[in-house]
Each structure stands twice: as C-alpha cells, then as structure tokens.
Chains A and B, each alone.
Chain A
Amino acid sequence: MTKIKSKTLKVAVAGNPNAGKTTIFNNLTGARQRVGNYSGVTVECMEGTLRRGGLDLRVIDLPGTYSLTAFSEEELVARDYLLHESPDMVINVVDAANLERNLYLTTELLELGLPLIVVLNMSDTAREKGLTIDLAQLADRLGAPVVAAVGHRNQGTEELIETIAKIAVQQADLPRPAGVCRQSGPGVVSLAGVETGGDGALVGFGDQAEGFIKEIIDYLPESSHCRWLAVKLLEEDPEAIKEITDPETRSAVAAVAARFADEAKEASDTLMPAMRYKFIEELMELACRLTPRTGQTRTDRVDRVVLHSVWGVPIFLLMMFVVFTATFTLGNPLMYLIESGFDWMGRTIAGFWPVGAVSPLKSLLVDGVIGGVGGVMIFLPNIVLLFLAIAVLEGTGYMARAAIVMDRFMSKVGLHGKSFIPLLIGFGCTVPAIMATRTLETRRDRLITMMVLPLMSCGARLPIYALMIPAFFPVQWQGPVLWSVYVAGIVLALVLARLLRATVFRGETTPLLMELPPYRMPTPQNLLVQMWTRAWLYVQKAGTVILGAAVILWFLTFFPKPPADYPVSVEVLAAAETVTDDTQTDPLVFSAIQDEGLRQSVELSYSVAGRAGRLLEPVLEPLGFDWRIATALLGAIAAKEVFVAQLGIVFAVEEADEASEDLRSQLRRLYSPLVGLCIMLFALISTPCIATFAITRQEAGSIWWAIAQSWGLTVLAWIVTFGVHQAGLLLGLGVLSGGAT
C-alpha cells in the first residue's frame, strides 16, 4: 500500500436498504463506531474510523435509499450529506443478487461527480441465483472501480481498502474535479482507465431532454454535481429547487422545467427513470449472464405462511411473546444483580456516616445519585436483550414482515406497522421504546409514535398502581382496575395518534410500498455491534442527563430546610396523624419534633417541591388532588416510581414502598377510591419522566418536540382526569371508603 499524506478522508457508504451496507461498514470500521447525528435529524447515521498505513478514514454509513429523489427523511439525509458535506469518496454497496434495481442508485450517484467505488455485495448469493457478473466490463461501463465482496463472510474487505487507498492517492495528486459536467465523465477516476462514452454523461436522456438539461446547467453555478442537479430540476424535484438560492435563477429554471413537462407530456414524469433503467438493462446484457429463474423461492414459501391473511397476526404475536418472555426471564436475574449492586453501593456510602446522621451530602449521594441513576440502570439487562432481539428480527428480515402484518391494523389509527414494536417495548420502559422508533422509516411516523409512546404503562408506573389499587379497591376489583388502567393508556394512545395524524401530521398517508428482503442469517458481529451501540447510548444517557436531572430534583425536595423555630402547620401534622388536640392550640416549632418521619415530612413541605405542590393545589383541586399528591407527582417527573417514595415522605411513613399498608391506610383516610383512580390516570398520562424527556429531545432532534410531548400529555391528563373525577362525583362515587381495611 502506498503511503499517502495523513489527511482524514471522509468516505460515505451509500446503497439500497437491505443491500448489506451496514455489514460492509462494520467490516471496514470494526467496533470503532459511534452514532452520528447530522443537521439535527433523527435518522440513525453510524460513523466509524479506519486507520491503516497512511490511510486515515472517517466512514459514514448513510441511510439506505433507493434513489436520490427525496421521498423520505432518510433519502433526504443521504442526499444532503452527499451534496453538502462533500465526502472525499463514496462507497456504493450494491446487492449483486438484485443488481438491476440496485444499479439505479449507482447511476444517480455517478452523476454527483464524486469518486465512487462500487461494492458488489453478496456475490455468492448472486452466483447461486445463476447470475455471473463480468466485473471488468461493469467497471468499464460505469467508469468506476468494482469490488466483489461477501459482506457476512468478511470477504473482499482487503481489496476494498486497497481500492480506497488507490483512489486516495489519485485524489491527492489530482485537484478536486470541478465543473466536471461540462467537460468529461462523471468525475470518477476510473481504475480501468476507460473514459465513459458520449459527451461525458453516463446515462443519456435523449436529444430532447438533453437540450433542456444543457439549458438548465447554464443557469447553475459551477459544481461537480451540476448535471445531477439539472436532471433533478428538470424532473421538478421539490427538494432540488431549494438548492438554488437566487430567486431569478429559480424562476428561470422552473420555466425551463415547465416547458419540458409541456413538450414531453406524459413521459416527463418517468422519462429519466426509464432512461436510467434502459441504460442498466443494456449494461446487464453486456456484463451479466443470467440463467432465468422464475417461480417460488424459499423466501416466497416462508412468506406464504408468515404473511398469511389469517395466520400472519397470530404468528407475529407468538414471536413477540417469545421475545418478551425471553427478555424478561433472562434479564430479571441480572436485573436483581444490578439492583443489589446499587443497594450495596448505597449502603456502603451511607456507612461512612454515623448511624442516623442527617447529612445533605449523604442524602445527595445515596438518594439523589445512586437512587436516580440506579433506577434507570436497573433496566439495562432487559434493554440489552431487547435490542439484541430487535437486531435479530431486523437482521433476518422478519421485521419487514412484522410491519406488513401489523400495517392493516395500525394504519387505521394513523400509525405505521412498524410502530407496533416500539409500543410493545413501551410497556417495559419508554426510553428504549423511543430509541426503537429508529426502525420506522419516515420522520412523521416516528414522531407520532414517540409522542404517544409514554401512554403505554411502563414498568415504573406499576409500583404506583400496586400501591393505589389495593388501597382503594376490594380484592375482586383489583385485577379489572389494573387492566382498565392499562387499556385506558392504549386506547388514549391510539386516539391521540389518530388525532395527531389528522392535525399536526396531516398530509398524504404514505401508502404501503416496501421491498421484502430475502430471509438471511444475520452475522453475530452485526448483531453485537447494533445491540452494543444502542445499549451504550442508553448507558450514556443514564450517566449524563438522568444523573443531572436526578441531582436537580433531589435539591428541589431537600432544600430549603425549615428554620428551628418554624411553626409547623396543623395541616402537616394532621396528615401525619400524630397530633392530639392540645398541640393544635399551641403550634409546634420544627426543632421540637422528635419523630424522624414527621421531621422529613415537614422538611419536604418546606422545600421547593413542597411549595410548588401547594402552588399547584388550586390547579389540581378539580381533579380531587391536594398539595400532597401534587408534591408526589412532581417527584414522579424524576422517575414515575418516585411518586410512591415521595408520598411516603409526605405522609411521614417510614420505609414506604408499594407494599406499605401503613401508607395505604393513610391514603384511604384522606381520599376516595375515585381520587385513587384519578391519581393513577394522572400518573399514567401526565408528563413522562425526565429520562423520556431527554431521549425524546435527542431522538426527535429538537427540544420542542420533548416540550410538546410533556406539556401536551400533561394537559391531556388534566382533561381526562377532570372528566373522570367530575363524572364520578356526579354519580356519587366520591365517598371516602374509610380508614378500615
């Protein structure tokens, strides 16, 4: 390999979905990857590095696209990257077994005028299919080097790296091709050393169209991709016109395109794609020999069962059942391990202080940091396993089938078939569920799914239900009540999705149109890399944003401290049920309180959170809530299950957890079962926890989506709970059930 100057080269990997792009990318970069985010978009773009000899590459795995016409968010991302980030080289991964369709993108990429390497992936499958490809001929006709590879067996990787190095050397010697479209070739330094025919263009669009293309090129500023742009402008691509900033040029170009559409009539729409395919068909005839193969493949036979109009749904549900059972049976022992690890850490740290000592630092470390981060990290084993399962479903090709099976049902509420899996994960934890929306292809579907996801009752809400339901409902009603709360969330999510589709995300529904990739054995490396990068993102989140939020919320509940002579209000004491009549006439001061639980209760009511709770009381009063519930709900913003602990402090109950009978009898004393139900509904619907907020901000690419989600849901929670509470009151259901068990 030749030594070249160590300049970092940007290499973009582009290709059709399912062409094995990610496998090639993984082969090149190994585990040296991170999730890259471009121009604030949510589409997953992996970035990796490769250093070899003098070669220093930054490799970007672009989203899979069929063309460079921006029909979806992914295509827009890929295209914007290629146009504006000016990569030094493009690696076009092409599925050899599906060459004709894959080369369509190649013809477009070549017009961009960037140095290009075609990687003929899965050449083994192509051979099995009876397809022999003449690589030299292909390279010759395309004017770009072609490398054969079998991605999942890591074959061809070395050759690809060598080819990259060769092009890098040539690039270092040559000035960047500029204005290539007016002189020669698509700007590719051909290793075959053969220039492409004609006037330099790869695909000719016929005399008529070429005339118009020339006309448009004359309006455009000099650039390597002006031919590509001119073609897109002639096709009246709405995104392409945005590339032109000058309004005069814009209208001039639009006029040319309109004239073309007028003259070419019907054909104007499909002329360019048709000519591209004509070029490809000719190329295929020259470079490939195909033993014609028709009829049913093995994939078709499997799909006949898996996509059956009757059996499809049960098979999908069974698969989901297996995935979730496996995730939880395998994950739970590890979960306990992590939980006891954090418990041990908490105890060890608490052990540095004498027993019973009250220290802000101890509380910050034990309750704030360990409690907050631990609460999120506990879910890590389940999340890792879930991501592994998703990687398997995606890698084998079943995910595409699952989307099709569920689409009939999901499209009725304005969601995509693929939304179903994130929604299912939402019952575990909303954070990985929002990350799992990455499998959705359009931004609109992704955002709708993200917005309604918190309505799936996550695992952290279960402690709230587990505390409230036995407190207010007789045994025979407990199951049905729990079930109705879950169902209420699902129904609300579906209604909200429908509503969002009809308002904020209005527009033409993306009709079902997708490629069915053949079933494949995923490579262990791919599965692990995919699982690991996603899980690591989750860990990072827990270590940064969630840690920060937990500390802030801890401060809000811990400070300020009441002064020693703070007169404790009767109300606080009454709630704690520890006072007798004589103390009411002579108000107690804070320092006089002996009982530790009561002290904490008074401290909380004096803290910022307690005051905020009081401040919120008038707003929440129509829902049947008082300041205690309000304070506990504020705590739930840190993590939903904090509600239970917070309520325990408010009521001065020692060691409150979801099984605390003490706390339950306190609740029964003050609230009716109707209010109990309202609390659960509000906790379910209102603003998701801070971790969800953080992940939504990141995944939606803007803090405004996260704000819209949390406020929108809070308003929805208020409306629903208000409705339920007032209706209940009218029906005479607001009666206290009394303190008796």
Chain B
Amino acid sequence: MPLSKVLEGGRATLLSISGGRQLRGRLAALGLLPGTPLEVIQNSGRGPFIVGVRGSRIVIGRGMASRIEVE
C-alpha cells in the first residue's frame, strides 16, 4: 500500500518508489531505499507528512508519499 495511507505511529518497510531517477536518487541519499524500515510520525489532514528514517525526520510531500509503496 502507499506510504500516505499509513496511519500516524504506524511502521512499514519500503518496497518501491515509482518516480524518476532523480527522485529515487534524492530519496536514496536521504536513506529511503527498498527494504528501509519507516515510521510515520505525523500524518493528519492537510498537514505535512513526516516519516522517521534511520534516526532522522524527513518531511515529504503528500504526492510523493503516495508514490512510495510500503508494506
């Protein structure tokens, strides 16, 4: 399911990212790779979408979050 559907406090593992090379590269540099465990820190209404990745907090756009497939 897409990352954007994961509720606050939920955990998931990244499966794949549908997007261009550029986007995947940027996410990879920040540590978001297939197999990376994620934790959704904030996901409410129209506010920002925050995930915990490898000990840091990353804000991603909702559009992008819907293109990240997790389980």
For A303, what are the chain B residues with a Cβ–Cβ distance below 8 Å?
41-42, 50, 57
Does the CB pair B31–A101 fall under 8 Å?
Answer: yes
Interface size on B, residues (CB 8 A): 36
Main secondary structure of the interface of B (DSSP, over half): mixed
For A99, what are the chain B residues with a Cβ–Cβ distance below 8 Å?
55
Known: A308-B47, A404-B48. 15 other contacts (CB 8 A): A101-B30, A104-B29, A104-B31, A270-B34, A273-B28, A274-B34, A304-B42, A312-B47, A511-B23, A511-B63, A512-B61, A513-B60, A514-B58, A514-B59, A518-B57
Q: Does A348 contact B (CB under 8 A)?
A: no
For B34, what are the chain A residues with a Cβ–Cβ distance below 8 Å?
270, 274
Known: A273-B33, A303-B42. A101 touches B25 (CB 8 A): no
Q: Contact residues of B with A, CB < 8 Å?
A: 20-31, 33-36, 39, 41-42, 44-48, 50, 53-61, 63-64
Does the CB pair B25–A69 fall under 8 Å?
Answer: yes
For A312, what are the chain B residues with a Cβ–Cβ distance below 8 Å?
47
Pull 8 A–B residue pairs with CB atoms less than 8 Å apart, ordered by A. A69-B29, A71-B26, A97-B55, A104-B31, A236-B21, A277-B33, A300-B42, A511-B64
Shortest A188–chain B CB gap in Å is: 22
Shortest A633–chain B CB gap in Å is: 44
Contact partner of A67 (CB less than 8 A), chosen from B29, B35, B53, B54, is B29
State A296–B40 Cα separation when bound (angstroms).
11
Q: Contact residues of A with B, CB < 8 Å?
A: 66-67, 69, 71, 97-101, 104, 235-236, 269-270, 273-274, 277, 294, 296, 299-300, 303-304, 307-310, 312, 404, 408, 508, 511-516, 518
Query: Nearest 6 pairs between A and B by C-beta?
Result: A309-B47, A273-B28, A67-B29, A512-B61, A516-B57, A309-B45
Contact partner of A513 (CB less than 8 A), chosen from B26, B39, B45, is B26
State A277–B34 Cα separation when bound (angstroms).
11
Question: Which residue of chain A has the shortest Cβ distance to B23 in the bound complex?
Answer: A511
For B54, what are the chain A residues with a Cβ–Cβ distance below 8 Å?
98, 100-101
Does the CB pair B31–A277 fall under 8 Å?
Answer: yes
For A512, what are the chain B residues with a Cβ–Cβ distance below 8 Å?
48, 59-61, 64
Shortest B51–chain A CB gap in Å is: 10
For B24, what are the chain A residues with a Cβ–Cβ distance below 8 Å?
269-270
Shortest A547–chain B CB gap in Å is: 44
State A404–B21 Cα separation when bound (angstroms).
24
State A104–B53 Cα separation when bound (angstroms).
14
Residue of B20, B22, B39, B53 with highest tally of chain A CB at under 10 A: B22
Shortest A672–chain B CB gap in Å is: 48
For B22, what are the chain A residues with a Cβ–Cβ distance below 8 Å?
71, 508
Does the CB pair A270–B28 fall under 8 Å?
Answer: yes
State A522–B21 Cα separation when bound (angstroms).
37
State A518–B23 Cα separation when bound (angstroms).
24
For B35, what are the chain A residues with a Cβ–Cβ distance below 8 Å?
274
For A104, what are the chain B residues with a Cβ–Cβ distance below 8 Å?
29, 31
State A690–B59 Cα separation when bound (angstroms).
40
Shortest B37–chain A CB gap in Å is: 11
Shortest B32–chain A CB gap in Å is: 9
Shortest A92–chain B CB gap in Å is: 15
State A273–B56 Cα separation when bound (angstroms).
17
Known: A307-B48, A309-B47. A513 touches B29 (CB 8 A): no
Contact partner of A516 (CB less than 8 A), chosen from B21, B55, B59, B61, is B59
Contact partner of B27 (CB less than 8 A), chosen from A310, A404, A513, A518, is A513
For B57, what are the chain A residues with a Cβ–Cβ distance below 8 Å?
299-300, 303, 515-516, 518
Shortest A293–chain B CB gap in Å is: 9
Does the CB pair B56–A98 fall under 8 Å?
Answer: yes
State A309–B64 Cα separation when bound (angstroms).
18
State A513–B32 Cα separation when bound (angstroms).
12
Shortest A429–chain B CB gap in Å is: 31
For A518, what are the chain B residues with a Cβ–Cβ distance below 8 Å?
57
Shortest B36–chain A CB gap in Å is: 8
For A514, what are the chain B residues with a Cβ–Cβ distance below 8 Å?
58-59
Does the CB pair A100–B31 fall under 8 Å?
Answer: yes
